[in-house]
A and B are shown apart, each in its own frame.
Chain A
Amino acid sequence: MAARKKTPAARSPVDGLIELVGVSKVYNPDRVPVHALADVDLQIAAGEYVAIMGPSGSGKSTLMHILGCLDTPTSGSYSLRGQEVSRYTGKKLAHIRNRDVGFVFQRFNLLPRLTAAENVELPLLYARAPADRRREVVADLLAKVGLSDRGHHRPNELSGGEVQRVAIARALANDPAIILADEPTGNLDSKSEDDLMELLDSLNAAGRTLVVVTHEDSVARHAKRVVLLHDGRVV
C-alpha cells in the first residue's frame, strides 16, 4: 500500500495502536456550539482491553465514533496503527472502517434482510475478497462464536445473544486491529450477557484489542483499564 509507505517517520515511540492527542469535537460550531469532546488524550496499546464509561451525554458515543472512524475530530490528532486518520475523508475512512475496525452496536446490529452468514460476509464483500475465501472465513467465524448451525437464519429467527455473537463474528471478518463495542450487552438478559462477555474476554485473551463503551460496572469489570469521561473530558 503506497499510502502507508508514505506515512512520515514521526511515529509514536510507544507501541501505541491508538493515539489521541488533544482531540476535540464541537457540534454546531456556528450557532450554539456543543463541545462533545474537549482536549482528549488517550493511548491504547495493542492487546489492551479498555472500557469507556461515563454518564449519558459525557461524550462516550462521540469518542467511539471517532475511534471507529465514523466521524473525524474538529481538532487534535488521531493516529491509528501509525496512520494519521483525523483528516481522512470519505473513501479512506471507509477503507479503515472496513480493515482496521470492527463494530458491535447495542441494537439492530444485523441487516434484517440478510442471513447470519450473509451479515458476517458483508465486510469481506466490501473488501472485495474472493468468494471461496469469504465462504471459508464466514464458516470459521461462525464456528468461533458457536453459531455454525445458525448461518442460514435471519436475525428475527435468532435470540438477542445470538444476534450479538453474529455481530462479533462480523466485526472480526477482516481481522481488524481493534473491536469497538457500544453497550454490547445493553439488551441482553444476565445469562446472555455473561456468555457474551466471556466471548469478548476470550478474544482479548487471544490478543485482540477491545474497547467497550458501557455504563454498567458488571461489563466494565471485565476490562483491564477503565477510561472515565465526564462532560467530554477524561477524568
Chain B
Amino acid sequence: MNLITLCARAIASMRYNKTRSFLTTLGIIIGVTTIIAIVALLKGLDRTIDQEFSSLGTKTIYVQKLELEIGLRRHRNFEEISKRPDLTVADAAAISKLPTVRAAVPNIHRDLGTLTRGVYEADECLLTGIGEGGDLTGNWVVSEGRFITRYDQQHRNMVCVIGSYVAGNLFGPGEEPLGQTLEVEGRRYTVVGVLEEKGASFGHPQDNQIYVPVETYIKYYSLPEGRASVFRGIRIEVLPEEKVPVEAAVADVEELLRLRHGLRYYEDNDFGLNTQESMLSSLNTIRSVLWLVMVGVAGISLLVGGIGIMNIMLVSVAERTREIGIRKAVGASDADVMVQFLSEAVALSSVGGVVGIFLGLAAGAFVSAITPLQAAAPWWTVVLGVGFSAAVGIIFGIYPARKASGLNPIEAIRYE
C-alpha cells in the first residue's frame, strides 16, 4: 500500500469518529500551539529589543552611577550607590581623550511637563544638557540646522536642538523653527537644529527632547543630590572609535575612571558601564525562563496528548478486532496491520499538530496586533511542530499497533 493510500485510509478512519478524534488530538493541539506561540513571542521580543537598541546606538557605552539591568531586579542598596562620586563634565572630557574613544558626551536631563508657546502645547517635554557629539552617541540625525557644538559649550550659548515631536507641536504648520526663540522655564533659547523622528524606545518617547549645551544647563540648574543623583545625575555616553571593539573601549574607560576616582585594586567599581551587551545579559535570563516554560508546557501536553492517543488507539484496536481478523484472512501481514494502525496514530497526532501550528501562528498574529511586540514564528517552528506531533504519534502508536498486528486471526474472526 503506498503512502497516499495509507494517508487517505488513516484520515477516513479519523473522520469515522470525528468527536473522538478531536478530543484525542486536543493534547497535541495545545502542545504544538504552545511551542509555536512561545517561539513567536520570543522572536518578537528579540526583534523588538533589536529595534529599541538600534535606535539607542548599538555600540554606545552608558557610564552611570549604577549598573543597569533590564528585567530581574536584584535587591540593591540605593543609599550606598547614591554616595558614589557623581560623574562630571570633566570625566567626559578625560574619557573623550582616550585613543579608543570617538566621543564621550555628558548628558543630564529634567522633566519639563507641558511646554507652551503661544497657542501651541507639547506634553511631557524633556530638557537635556548635552555635550558636543551627542548626536553621534544618541544615534540622532539632524534634519535641519546643526547639533550642539563645542563653541556652544565654551560660550554657554542659549541655543537648543529640538526633537520632531517638539518641533511639530510647538510650531505651526509652515512655520520654520530654525532661528525662532523657545522659552523654557523663563529662559529663551534660539532653535539651531531639528532632529529626525526616532519613535519610542522601551516605551519612552524620544522625540520630546530639547537639547541645550550641558555647560548652559549646569549654569542654570543645580545638579541633583542624594538618591536623585543615582538616576538623574550626569551620565556619560561613550562612543568607541570605529573598528574598536566595545569591550576594548569599556576596559579603557573603566581603567581611567578607577584612576580618577582613586580606587584601590581591591575595591569594586563605583560606577556602572552599561552597554547593550550588559543589559541584554540579564534579558537572557528572562528568555531562558520563557524557554523553560515552553519546554515544560509543551512537553507535558505532548506527553498527555500522546497517552490520549495511545489510549484511544487501544480502544480502537479492541473495537476493530474482527476487522483485523478479516484483514489478516484476506492477506494482510502483521507488518501491514502494524503500519495501518501506526499511520492512524500518526494521522491523529499530525492533524493535531497542524491545527496547533495554525492556532500558534494565530496567537502570534493576535499578540502582534494588540501589542507593539512583533511576534512572528519562523519557518522552522512549523517543521518543529509537525515533527514533534508526528513523533508523538509514532512513539505512542507503536504499542497499540503492535497489539493489533499480534492478534491471532482465528480468534479475531471469532470475536463479536
Contacts and interface: CB of A to CB of B under 8 A. Distances in A.
Interface in B319-360: 322-323, 326-336
B328 A122 contact: no
Interface in A118-177: 122-123, 125-128, 170, 173-174
B411 to A, nearest CB: 10
* Chain B binding surface SS class: helix
B330 A126 contact: yes
Given A91-B334, A97-B330, A126-B330, A113 B410 contact: no
A111 interface: yes
A32 B327 CA distance: 31
B409 A111 contact: no
A99 B5 CA distance: 21
Interface of A: 65, 68, 70-71, 90-91, 94-95, 97-99, 103, 105, 108-113, 122-123, 125-128, 170, 173-174
Contacts of B16: 113
9 contacts: A65-B410, A68-B329, A90-B333, A94-B334, A97-B331, A99-B331, A103-B330, A108-B416, A123-B331
B333 A94 contact: yes
Contact of B330 (A90, A122, A128): A122
Interface string B395-416: 0000000000000011001001
Interface string B1-18: 100010000001100100
B409 A70 contact: yes
Contacts of B328: 70, 94, 97
B322 A108 contact: yes
B402 to A, nearest CB: 14
Please indicate which of the listed interface residues B1, B13, B334, B410 has the most CB atoms of chain A within 10 Å of its own CB: B410
Interface residues of B, number: 22
Given A70-B410, A71-B410, A126-B1, A113 B12 contact: yes
Given A65-B410, A111-B326, A126 B334 contact: no
B406 to A, nearest CB: 10
A198 B50 CA distance: 83
Contacts of B333: 90-91, 94-95, 126
A111 B321 CA distance: 11
Given A70-B410, A91-B335, A125-B1, A98 B13 contact: no
A125 B5 CA distance: 9
A94 B407 CA distance: 13
A229 B146 CA distance: 114
A128 B1 CA distance: 6
